[in-house]
Amino acid sequence: MKTLAAFAAGLALAGAASAADARGGYQAVGVGANSCAQYLAAPRDVGQVVGVWLSGYFTAMNQVLPDTTDVLAGRTDADLEQALVSACQKQPTQLLADAANQMLTAMAPARPAAAKTKKKSGKQPKDEAVPELRR
């Protein structure tokens, strides 16, 4: 458990990947800023931390990608772990964030499309400075 806590703390303090730019570069933070090599070399229980991070990443993608309800399209945690390990073994120097994005791209054809009509609660004030997220 100490190993898991130490790795999680290290992940939280991980360095930057790259600055945002016009070509789609971005700043990876937290778990996603670690390399695949670090993930593959980490103790097995670190997979739980990475799994939680992946769940959050894919949940965010469900929320922001247009015409998408579930980027995972029914895939299990075991499916995701195997896909991440495979992506990392192919390119160990890439960041976990980039590996997750590759997984997302590979899953794209199987994603169910969102319904064209969206329900709004109507009770939340609209702030024009904040982009509207799907609810």
**57, exposed or middle or buried, with CB in 10 Å at 0-12, 13-18, 19+?**
buried
With beta carbons less than 8 A apart as the criterion, state whether 30 and 39 touch: no
Q: What is the pLDDT of residues 21-37, one digit of tens each?
A: 677 677 788 899 999 99
Euclidean distance between CA atoms 80 and 82, whole angstroms: 5
Sorting pLDDT into bands at 50, 70 and 90, what band is 97?
Answer: very high
Euclidean distance between CA atoms 67 and 91, whole angstroms: 30
Euclidean distance between CA atoms 37 and 40, whole angstroms: 5
User: Phi/psi class of residue 67: alpha, beta or left (left: φ > 0; alpha: ψ in -120 to 50)?
Assistant: left
Euclidean distance between CA atoms 101 and 58, whole angstroms: 9
* Higher pLDDT, residue 11 or 103: 103
Q: Which of these ranges, 13-22, 49-58, 79-88, 98-107, has the smallest mean pLDDT?
A: 13-22
Average pLDDT, integer, range 82-102: 94
Give the pLDDT confidence score for residue 68 in this predicted structure. Answer: 80
Helical residues (DSSP H) of the chain, grouped into ranges:
2-12, 36-41, 46-64, 77-90, 96-107
Q: What is the pLDDT of residues 35-83, one digit of tens each?
A: 999 999 999 889 889 999 999 999 988 888 888 888 888 888 889 999 9
Which residues on neighbouring strands pair with residue 35, listed in sequence order? Answer: 95
